[in-house]
Amino acid sequence: MHFLMLTIMIVANAQPTETIAQTTLKFDFAADWTSGSAFGVHRGSPSEIRDSLHSSGGQNGAPGGIDNVPGWQIDVFANAPDDGLIARIAIDELFPMFTSGYRGGGEIILSVPAITGERSIRFGLDRRGDRASMPPETIVDLSTDSSARASSRIVMKVPRVLPNEEPYEHLTVEFAGTGAARVTLREIQLRGVQLTDVSETINRKAKSPTTHRKCMWAWHFDKYLASSQSRQALADFCARHGITDLFLKTPYTFENGLVALTHIDELRELLAALSVVHVRTHALDGHAEFVLKENHNRVLGFVDAIAKFNAESAPTIRFTGVHLDNEPYLLEAWRNKSTRDAVHQNYFDLNVAASKSCRSHKLEFGLDVPFWFDSTDERGRYLYWINRGAGRTPLIEAIIALADNVAIMSYRERVLGAGCVIDCCAKEFVLGDQYGTDVFASVELGMGKNVEVGTSLGRFDRAYVRSQLSTLWSAVHRQSGCAGMAIHYYDVFRELESVR
User: Sign of dihedral through CA atoms 11, 15, 20, 24?
Assistant: positive
pLDDT tens for residues 44-95? 333 332 222 222 222 222 222 233 334 566 777 776 666 667 777 777 666 6
Crossing angle of helices 337-360 and 395-402, in 10° steps, is 10
User: Which domains are assigned to the chain?
Assistant: 2-191 (2.60.120), 213-498 (3.20.20.80)
Cα(247)–Cα(83) distance, integer angstroms: 56
pLDDT tens for residues 221-251? 999 999 999 999 999 999 999 999 999 999 9
pLDDT tens for residues 431-459? 998 899 999 999 999 998 888 989 999 99
What are the residue ranges of helices labelled H in 220-263? 221-224, 228-240
Going by DSSP bridges, is the β-strand pair 72-76/181-185 parallel, antiparallel, or unpaired?
antiparallel
pLDDT tens for residues 376-423? 887 778 899 988 765 678 999 999 999 999 999 999 999 998 899 999
Percent of the chain with pLDDT over 70: 76
For residue 217, with 0-12 CB atoms within 10 Å meaning exposed, 13-18 middle and 19 or more buried, which class applies?
Answer: buried
What pLDDT score was predicted for residue 99?
A: 58
Give φ, ψ of 366 to 5 degrees: -125, 155
Crossing angle of helices 462-478 and 490-498, in 10° steps, is 130
Cα(500)–Cα(496) distance, integer angstroms: 9
- Is the pTM higher than 0.75? The answer reads no
